[in-house]
Each structure stands twice: as C-alpha cells, then as structure tokens.
Amino acid sequence: MAKLEVEGLCKRYGDHLVIDDVSFHAEEGEVISLIGASGSGKSTLLRCINFLERPFRGDIRLDGERLLTCSERPGGELVAVDARQLRRFRARLAMVFQSFCLWTHMSVLDNLVLPQRHVLGRDEEAARAQALAQLAKVGLEAGIARRYPERLSGGQQQRVAIARALCLAPEVLLFDEPTSALDPQRVGEVLEVMRALANERRTMLLVTHEMSFARQVSDRVLFLHRGRIEEQGAPEAVFGDPRSPRLRRLLGLG
C-alpha cells in the first residue's frame, strides 16, 4: 500500500483550472520532486494535499485512510467532514514553507515545543528534549534555541523550520520551494539538511526549482504543466532524456 495517495485532484480559482485531475502516489521512503515553470500549479498541488488550499474534487489517502470530505454546494470546494481527522492528517504531513513561517513572537525553542505540546500532547520536558535533538540534527547549536527567529539568517530560519516539522515525527514531509527565499550562499546549508533526510529514506514531496538537487535526491520526478502531470519518471529519464518539448525548454535543452 502506498504511503500517500492523491487521486483525481482538481482545483480552480474562479473559472481558472489550476490543478487538472492530478493523480500520483508516494511509496514509503520515496522522494518525489515536483518541477515546472512558475504558475504550473506545483505549489498549489502541494498545498491541496494538506488542505491549506481546498480542491473541489479529489481524494487524499494516508496509509490507505481517506480524508473524509464533502462539498457544501454542488461543484463547490471540498471541506473536511471531521475537523479532528483533518488536524491529525496535517500533523502527519508536516510542511516546510518557502518563507519559513516561523512564529516570530516566540523563541526558536517555543516554536519547536508548541506544536508538540498542543498537537501531539507531549509533556513539556519531552518536547524540549525532542526540540534540542532536532536542532542538533539540522546542524544548529543549542544556543539558538533562546533567540527569536527573525534574529537568525535565512538559512538558519529554514533549518529551524525543518526541525519544527521533524519534531512532529511526520510520516510525509512536504517542502514548498524551501530554498527560493534564501540568499544564494545560504541555499547549500538547507539542501544539505534535506539531502540527509532523503538519505534516511523519509517520504518527501519536494516542490523546487533546484534542478540538479532534484536530480540527485529524487526517486521520481513529476513535471507539471498547466495543472497536469505532463511527464514523470526516474530523474535520469526526466532530466536526461525529456520527451515533452516544454520540459526540454525548462531544462534549457532547446
């Protein structure tokens, strides 16, 4: 059984179809990259999976369990039937955002402890220990825990955000262009952390413009164009010998 299944997903803004009947699945331990030009719908697709965006059709399954949804009116957006099931799904699918989205009014430590306390119900002591362990894992020193996120560099903030996601022991990690908001010299440190996670055989979905990174770490690459999967396959095939002319253009192969 696949870890994560996405089936027949459709999303539109007004009359504009941004995701057009997309289906794919991720096996346990698989790293899947979503690539495509800006506006191809890859971020929207990722955000539909944890219902930050509401699709109007489609199913999401985690370990075979379907997220129960219904639409309030015919053709309208889907909403979760059971708010608690949705919260449980979201915690199992931790997300890392392009702009970090750390809570600026609390220290790094509180950022890592808060979701553990209130989503997993861990006690304070266990949550702190987990937070410090994950900080060390993303290569940050413990002294950073007391500081406010905005006092840190972009690369450090994104690594804190990854640690925050890891603290929930998620089954699938969703990365939404995690290096796009970083200074070029900070990109490497974040990619390094992500490479280590991929090597641990974590299930990861990665929206990215970093083609060479996607080629190195992915088990499978999906190329999106106008909300549809236009090409998919192993990275060697997709990057080495792309068939879609639009993918060839995106990769600069003429």
Partner 1 sequence: MNWDIILDSAGLYLSGLRLTLGLTLASLLFSFLLAVPLALAKWSGGAVTRAIISGYTLLFRGTPLLIQLFLIYFGLAQFELLRESWLWPWLSSPLVCVLLAFVLNSAAYSTEIFAAGLAHLPRGEIEAARAFGMSAWVRTRRIYLPAMLTRSLPLYGNEAVMLMHATSLASTVTLMEITGVARNLTLNYYIQFEPYVTAGLLYLILTLSLVGLLHWAERRWAGYLVQR
- According to the binding rule CB under 8 A, does residue 148 interact with partner 1? yes
**Taking contact as CB under 8 A, which single stretch among the options 58-66, 98-106, 185-193, 227-235 is the one that binds partner 1?**
98-106
H or E segment to which residue 156 belongs? helix 154-167
SS3 48: helix
Burial zone of 17 (CB within 10 Å; 0-12 exposed, 13-18 middle, 19+ buried): middle
User: What separation in angstroms does the CA of 49 have from each of 36, 44, 45, 139?
Assistant: 18, 9, 7, 29
- According to the binding rule CB under 8 A, does residue 89 interact with partner 1? yes
- Closest distance to partner 1 from the beta carbon of 63 (Å): 16
Burial zone of 52 (CB within 10 Å; 0-12 exposed, 13-18 middle, 19+ buried): middle
- Whether residue 172 contacts residue 153, with contact meaning beta carbons closer than 8 Å, is answered with no
Single residue of 24, 100, 175, 213 touching partner 1 by CB under 8 A: 100
- According to the binding rule CB under 8 A, does residue 168 interact with partner 1? yes
- Whether residue 136 contacts residue 196, with contact meaning beta carbons closer than 8 Å, is answered with no
- Closest distance to partner 1 from the beta carbon of 223 (Å): 25
Single residue of 31, 60, 86, 191 touching partner 1 by CB under 8 A: 86
- According to the binding rule CB under 8 A, does residue 196 interact with partner 1? no
- According to the binding rule CB under 8 A, does residue 101 interact with partner 1? yes
Single residue of 31, 48, 102, 214 touching partner 1 by CB under 8 A: 102
Residues near partner 1 (CB under 8 A) are 50, 52, 83, 86-91, 94-95, 97, 99-106, 114-115, 118-119, 148, 150-151, 164, 168
